[in-house]
Amino acid sequence: MDVAVKTEEKGRNKIHPQKFALLAALAGIMMMFAAFTSAFVVRRAAGNWLEFRLPDMFFYNTGVILLSSLTMHSAYYFFKKGNVLLYRSLLVATLILGLTFVYLQYQGWVAMYDIGLPISGPVSGSFIYLISGVHAAHVLGGIAVLVVALLHAIVLPFKVTPRRKLRFEMSLIYWHFVDFLWVYLLIFFVLQS
**Residue 192 binds other proteins (CB under 8 A):** no
- 3-state secondary structure at position 48: coil
> Please, what is the minimum distance in Å from the beta carbon of residue 39 to other proteins?
6
> Please, what is the minimum distance in Å from the beta carbon of residue 110 to other proteins?
16
Inter-residue long-range contacts of 139-143, CB under 8 Å, 24+ positions, other chains counted: 139/65, 139/98, 139/101, 139/102, 139/105, 139/178, 139/182, 140/102, 141/174, 142/98, 142/171, 142/174, 142/175, 142/178, 143/95, 143/98, 143/99, 143/102
**Residue 1 binds other proteins (CB under 8 A):** yes
Which residue's CB is nearer to other proteins, number 1 or number 85? 1
Taking only Cα atoms into account, the Rg of the chain, rounded to an integer number of angstroms, comes to: 19
Of the candidate residues 86, 92, 130, 166, the single one contacting other proteins (CB under 8 A):
130
**Residue 119 binds other proteins (CB under 8 A):** yes
Q: Which residues bind other proteins (CB under 8 A)?
A: 1-4, 6-7, 10, 12-13, 15, 17-18, 20-21, 24-25, 27-29, 31-36, 39, 42-43, 46, 48, 119-120, 122-123, 126-127, 130, 134
